[in-house]
Amino acid sequence: MNNFKNKTVLITGASRGIGKATAQAFAEQGAKVAINFRSNRKAAEETLRALPGEEHALFQYDISNEDEQQQLVGEVIKHFGILDILVNNAGISIEHDIESISFEEWSSAFKDTFQTNLFAVANLSLLAAQHMMKHGGGRIVSVSSRGAFRGEPTKPAYGASKAALNAMSQSLAKKLAPHGIYVGVVAPGFTETDMASKTLTPVERENLLRESPFKRMAQPEEVAHAILFLASEKAAYSSGTIIDVNGASYLRS
C-alpha cells in the first residue's frame, strides 16, 4: 500500500511505544518519516533501522523546550523540503497524589505535564500549520488519552492536559479547515508501552485488564491505525474528531 507515498510526516516521541508503531505504519504506506526523540538514541536508531524505505531520518530535540521546538520543525522542513503531516505523540505522565504531596511537587507536576502535553503541542502545531498554509494544506493528529474524559485521580495534571489538548485541537480544526489543514485526535486507553508498564503494579495491571471486555490492553499498532486513518486523504471531513481506542473500557456519549 502506498497511501502516503511522498508524504513527509513528523512524529514526536517516535523512538518507542505508540510513536514507534506509528512510524512503522506510515513507512509501510510509503511516507518519509521524521523520527523525533529526546534522549534514548539507541532506541531511536533501532526504530529507524526497522523502517521500510531509505528516506527516513532522526531528529533529537526536547519538545518541552521552546527553542528546540522551533529547531525541530525548521530542521525537518530543511531536510525534507516540506512537512505534510504532524503527529503530536510525545507525552509524559507524572504521579502526584493530592493526599500525600507537597505544594512544590504538586505545582511542578502541573507545570512539567502541561509544558510537554499541551504547550509543546500548541507551539509545534503553530509552526507546522503556518508552513502547511503556504504549501497546500496538511494534517495534524495528536495523541490524547481516555484520562481526559474519565478522570485521572492520582495524575490530575495528565487528565487536564489531555482534556485541554482535545479542546485546542477542536478549535484548530475549525480555524484551519479553510486552509486545507485537518486536525484530529486519538484517545487511547492503556496501551502496552513503557509508559503503561512502568506505572503499574501487578495488582493494578490485573484490575486494569478487567476494565475492558477484551480483557487486554491496546497494542501500539492499534493506536497507530487510528492515527493513520485521521491523517489519510479521505478522512478530511472527519476533522475535529476524537477517536477512542480503549477496548470499550470507557464509553462516552
- The residues that are catalytic are 158
For residues 68 and 127, give the distance between their C-alpha atoms in angstroms, rounded to a whole number. 12
Residues 6+ apart with CB under 8 A from 195: 17, 91, 93
By C-beta, is 112 or 236 nearer to ligand NAP?
112
What count of Cα atoms within 13 Å lies in the side-chain half-sphere of residue 28? 11
Give residues 223-252 in contact with ligand NAP (rule: CB under 6 A): none
By C-beta, is 24 or 89 nearer to ligand NAP?
89
Q: Which of 24, 29, 145, 249 binds ligand NAP (CB under 6 A)?
A: 145
Q: Which of 8, 24, 29, 89 binds ligand NAP (CB under 6 A)?
A: 89
Least Cβ distance, residue 194 to ligand NAP (angstroms)? 4
Q: Which three cell numbers stand for residue 86?
A: 504532524
Measured in degrees and rounded to the nearest 5, phi and psi for residue 219 equal: -95, 145
Helix (H) or strand (E) holding 59: strand 57-60
Which candidate, 112, 38, 94, places its Cα nearest to that of 69? Answer: 38
Stretch that binds ligand NAP, among 7-15, 23-31, 130-138, 232-240 (CB under 6 A): 7-15
Size of the site for ligand NAP (CB under 6 A): 32
Least Cβ distance, residue 2 to ligand NAP (angstroms)? 26
Q: Which of 7, 11, 12, 118 binds ligand NAP (CB under 6 A)?
A: 12
Give residues 174-203 in contact with ligand NAP (rule: CB under 6 A): 188, 190-191, 193-196
Residue bearing cell 521552546: 66
* Residue 169 engages ligand NAP in binding (rule: CB under 6 A): no
Buried b (16+ CB within 10 A) or exposed e, 95-128: ebeeeeeeeeeeeebbebbbbbbbbbbbebbebb
Least Cβ distance, residue 20 to ligand NAP (angstroms)? 7
Residue type, position 245, single letter: V
User: Residues 30-59: x/- map of binding to ligand NAP (CB under 6 A)?
Assistant: ------xxxxx--x----------------
247 within 8 A of 218, measured Cβ to Cβ: yes
By C-beta, is 181 or 223 nearer to ligand NAP?
223
* Residue 132 engages ligand NAP in binding (rule: CB under 6 A): no
For residues 80 and 122, give the distance between their C-alpha atoms in angstroms, rounded to a whole number. 22
Q: Which three cell numbers stand for residue 125?
A: 502545531
* Residue 155 engages ligand NAP in binding (rule: CB under 6 A): no
Residue type, position 36, single letter: N
Residues binding ligand NAP (CB under 6 A) = 12-19, 36-40, 43, 62-64, 89-93, 116, 143, 145, 188, 190-191, 193-196
